[in-house]
Amino acid sequence: MSEELERRVEQIMTESGVFRCVECGKCVVGCPMAKMYASFSFEISPRGVLKKALLGPDPMKDESIWFCTECNACTETCPEGVSCRDLTAGLRKLAVEVGMAGQGLFCQHCGKLFLPSHVMKYLEERLGKVQWQFLHLCPPCRRERYVLLNS
């Protein structure tokens, strides 16, 4: 990883509060991924992603960053205000910028990264047949499409 990328990863980690973590585990307890994924483990938990970011050489290559739903339950339960959501979102964005899109899905209208494929798979299983024209759009494009269809 280049010095510039290392600097940007360090900035993401600082801004998300990773260095304030006291390892209490409250982020894992509050995380909905445990109910979403049969394969849920420490590896993909908020704490696991955070720990690997702290110890790993290149956290953008960690497949675990693509499981987070970005619901923010981890931050709401964290006594130190660490935001695993901001960490994973920042690492995902940086990964896409450098061509490591991993498990990210992109809006079919605007092309922006909006959802990890693991989350989409879960939604498709839970929702069954829905109006796919809305499901594969980011929230702003979904609202725009809905308004156009209903005006």
Q: What is the pLDDT of residues 35-71, one digit of tens each?
A: 888 889 999 999 999 999 999 788 988 888 998 888 8
| Count of structural domains within the chain | 2
- The domain in which residue 131 lies consists of 105-149
For the cut 80, the answer to whether the pLDDT of residue 128 exceeds it is: no
Q: What is the pLDDT of residues 13-37, one digit of tens each?
A: 999 999 999 999 999 998 999 888 8
Residues pairing with 115 in the sheet: 105
Residues 127 and 96 in one domain: no
pLDDT at residue 146, rounded to an integer: 84
Of all residues in the chain, what percent carry a pLDDT higher than 90?
44
Residues 22 and 77 in one domain: yes
Cβ(14)–Cβ(96) under 8 Å?
no
Residues 16 and 41 in one domain: yes
Residues 48 and 112 in one domain: no
Pull the structure tokens for residue 80.
């130190």
pLDDT at residue 9, rounded to an integer: 94
CA distances (Å), origin 6, targets 11, 53, 94, 134: 9, 11, 11, 37
For residue 70, the Cα-to-chain-centroid distance in whole angstroms is 5
For residue 80, the Cα-to-chain-centroid distance in whole angstroms is 20
